[in-house]
Each structure stands twice: as structure tokens, then as C-alpha cells.
Amino acid sequence: MPDFLREQQLLKTYQNIAGVDEVGRGPWAGPVTACAVVLDPDNIPDGLNDSKKLTAKKREHLFEQILQTADVSIAHVSVVEIDRINILQASLLAMENAVSGLKFPADFALIDGNKAPWNLICPCETIIKGDAKSSSIAAASIVAKVTRDRMMVALSQQFPGYGWETNAGYGTKQHQEGLKALGVNAHHRRSFKPIHKMLYDEN
């Protein structure tokens, strides 16, 4: 389970420690979403964990608790931007924007993964599998996933047939069948090989 030990060490020097994570690098459709969370050391929700290890019900419950007790900022980078700058750069940009959007500026960030955004407003440390190690990053992973999943459910109502309400834009069998039947729409990532190939084959 993640813990707050790294944050406690950093709090000897810094005041606002943000955990940062993103979700949505792999899907064929929809934005990439990042979240920055500064937990209140005296009011950390119980049960924080890597969002992928939690049930949807538990994620929703923790999502509400995190929003009530922490400083939270969410940022999205659109499909158009993903296609323009590539998914890695879009993910880093989303994280950078999430940190910049905090109500009280972070003076240190713990970033999930092994790459840090270029233009962060504060010093940072990258942590591989950070959502399983740091409570702050785990909280960010939960908020990012719940937010993006809800967005994809909303988009699925406008663009039914791709199964986005259950696959969140990933390339599942249902999504592939939807593409064959309905074609590519405005929320598909044209720079991703399966989508690019489909458009190329159509032409």
C-alpha cells in the first residue's frame, strides 16, 4: 500500500507537496487527463491505492473524499493536441498544467513514472510505480481516472456504438467493431497506428 513517508520527509523543507499522475495514454480515443493533489497531512483519506487496484465503487468513494479534504487540480490535453505533439508530450503537458492549476502553488511535486514535465513551476522527483508507493500520487491517480472515465461515459452518449462507457476509449473488441461499423470520429487519435491505418486504408 502507498504511504506518506516521502511526503513527510519533504515537509521538513517544503510546504505544499503535490502528487501528480496521468491517465489515458493508451486509449485510441479521448483526451489524456492529469491530476495534481496536495493532501492535508492531518486528514488523509483511508484506503488510498493505485486506482487500477481499486473497484469502481471504492474509487468513486475516495474521489469524493479527496475533493473534500485536499487541494486538487485536473487538466486535460485534447485529441487534437495529442496528434500534434504526440502522446508522451501531451501526458507531460497535462501534468504540468495540473500542477500549475493548484489553488495553493506546489513547492515540490512527486511525479508518477520516470519522466518529469519540462516546465514545472517547482522542483520535482519522479517515482516509478509511484501510485503504489506515494499516497499523494495514489490520490492523483484516483481523481484522474474517475474524471476521465466519467468524460468517456458522457462522450459515449454522444457517440454510441464504440463502447466508451465501459472501455474508456481503449482498443477493445467492441471498440474495434464500432470503428468498422461507424468509422473514425472527432474524438479518435489519428496519430495512433490502428486509427491512422484505418484512415489510410479508407483513402
Residue 127: pLDDT band (50, 70, 90) is very high
Mean pLDDT of the 63-92 span:
98
* Sign (positive or negative) of CA dihedral 174, 180, 182, 183: positive
The parent domain of residue 144 ranges over 5-157
Tally Cβ neighbours within 10 Å of residue 57.
8
Residue 202: pLDDT band (50, 70, 90) is low
Is residue 172 included in any domain, yes or no? no
The owner of cell 495534481 is: 36
Is residue 93 included in any domain, yes or no? yes
Q: What is the pLDDT of residues 45-77, one digit of tens each?
A: 999 999 999 999 999 999 999 999 999 999 999
Is residue 26 included in any domain, yes or no? yes
The CATH number of the domain holding residue 99 is 3.30.420.10
Calpha distance 55→44 (Å, rounded): 19
3-state secondary structure of 38: strand
Calpha distance 191→178 (Å, rounded): 19
Q: What is the pLDDT of residues 143-198, one digit of tens each?
A: 999 999 999 999 999 999 999 999 999 999 999 999 999 999 999 999 999 999 98
Supply the pLDDT for residue 201: 77
Looking only at the bridges linking them, the beta strands covering 124-127 and 108-112 are parallel
Total number of domains constituting the chain: 1
Supply the pLDDT for residue 200: 80
Mean pLDDT of the 69-98 span:
98
